[in-house]
Amino acid sequence: MRLLFYVLICLLTGAGAQAETLETSTGPVRAELVLSGLDAPWAIAFLPGGGYLVTERGGALLHVRNGTARRVSGVPRVAAVGQGGLLDVMVPRDFATSRAVFLSFSRSEPGGGAGTAVAVGRLDVGGGALRDVRTIFTAAPGSRGGRHFGSRIVEAADDTLFVTLGERGDRPSAQDRGNHNGSVLRINRDGTVPGDNPFVGAAGVQSEIWSYGHRNPQGAVVDGQGRLWVVEHGARGGDEVNRIRRGANYGWPVIAYGRHYSGEKIGEGSAKPGMEQPMFFWDPSIAPSDVMIYSGRLWPEWRGDFFVGSLKFDMISRLEGNPLREVERISGKATDRVRDVAEAPDGSIWVVSEGQGAIYRLTPAR
């Protein structure tokens, strides 16, 4: 039944029947509905040669192409509890030859609870099944809590993978490198640890860790210079954009802007020697999901700008400059609880709206 429903909407969309205009400082933007009927969509990834993949948190991976959406088989079993479930999907640069698709998800653990995991499979030629699926990373130890899974996967310039992990609601664990909570990981495509990771050989430290002291990073992007940026759900009044550096400590919960959601003061304030400052923070918090850095041809004036989805204020925050600052908020029906923002190969901006259970394609309305 669900499958049929996706298809119908796609056909409608193909006719361009449903669109709205969003106002921006660069002129009006057309937001066209391309897929609806989704249940808690989390992430989108484009396939070279056309089509795209979408995750639903409940566990479905959809392959959409030529106005047809179908569910991909072979996805690992996920623990769809709280904020967990099937989360990110990442298509690497070499997909045309490798057919590799990476997924992050929360995975049930034998003793109860769930931990963030990463799997890789090979999308078959028909695009309907993942083959040879292997879980290449499982966070240890997991947690019984249902919060702060993190889970964004991005590909580094050197083909390693960065994976963001939240602190699972266990604040002090973000400073404890003996577990994976609250960190950005760097792993090889087979899940092994690159020999030049910062803590390789350090006693009692998980060697996948690249940076730590994070609260719940759910957005990540590698810029044109190969630098990793992460956006994370911070304290109340302290959601952050961070430039990620090898081996660095981002301070949670010792330092942060804002306050704990309880109103309680944060550890030692907003700064401490040896701990990183954010490049930008939002006060009030916007609940940022993913981040995209625009590089396309449709809006030359936006090249290099950061687009960050907001779950809380139903908008996309655009940031620019050095120092980075928020210059506008783009909103409409299309930005209802934005879970993902992505640039398509043609330079259009695609928005995954959890609130609408839909995907929109943004282009200049001119």
Residues that bind its own copies (CB under 8 A): 245, 249, 257, 270-281, 322-324
Q: Using the minimum distance from each CB to its own copies, give the nearer residue, 206 or 348.
A: 206
- Distances from the Cα of 58 to the Cαs of 46, 324, 343, in angstroms? 21, 35, 24
C-alpha closest to that of 167 among 83, 41, 79, 267: 83
Smallest gap from Cβ 220 to its own copies, in A, equals: 18
Smallest gap from Cβ 281 to its own copies, in A, equals: 6
The DSSP result for 5-45, as a single string, is HHHHHHHHHHTT--EEEE--TT--EEEEEEE---SSEEEEE
Q: Using the minimum distance from each CB to its own copies, give the nearer residue, 98 or 270.
A: 270
Which is catalytic among the residues 63, 148, 214, 233? 148
Q: Each residue of 217-246: b (16+ CB within 10 Å) or e?
A: bbbbbbeeeeebbbbbbbbbbbbbbbbbee
Q: Using the minimum distance from each CB to its own copies, give the nearer residue, 6 or 281.
A: 281
- Those residues with Cβ within 8 angstroms of residue 15's Cβ, 6 or more apart along the chain or in another chain: none
Q: Using the minimum distance from each CB to its own copies, give the nearer residue, 102 or 282.
A: 282
Strand 161-165 to strand 153-155: parallel, antiparallel, or no bridges (unpaired)?
antiparallel
Measured in whole angstroms, how far is the alpha carbon of residue 279 from the centre of its chain?
18
Smallest gap from Cβ 327 to its own copies, in A, equals: 15
The whole-angstrom separation of Cα 68 and Cα 11 is 8
The whole-angstrom separation of Cα 4 and Cα 137 is 34
Smallest gap from Cβ 43 to its own copies, in A, equals: 27
The whole-angstrom separation of Cα 192 and Cα 182 is 20
Q: Using the minimum distance from each CB to its own copies, give the nearer residue, 97 or 225.
A: 225
Report whether the peptide linkage leading into residue 345 is cis, meaning its omega lies within 30 degrees of zero.
no
Smallest gap from Cβ 241 to its own copies, in A, equals: 8
Q: Using the minimum distance from each CB to its own copies, give the nearer residue, 208 or 276.
A: 276
Is 148 among the catalytic positions? yes
Q: Name the percent of the chain in helix, strand, coil, to the closest 5.
A: 5, 40, 50
Smallest gap from Cβ 249 to its own copies, in A, equals: 8
Catalytic residues: 148
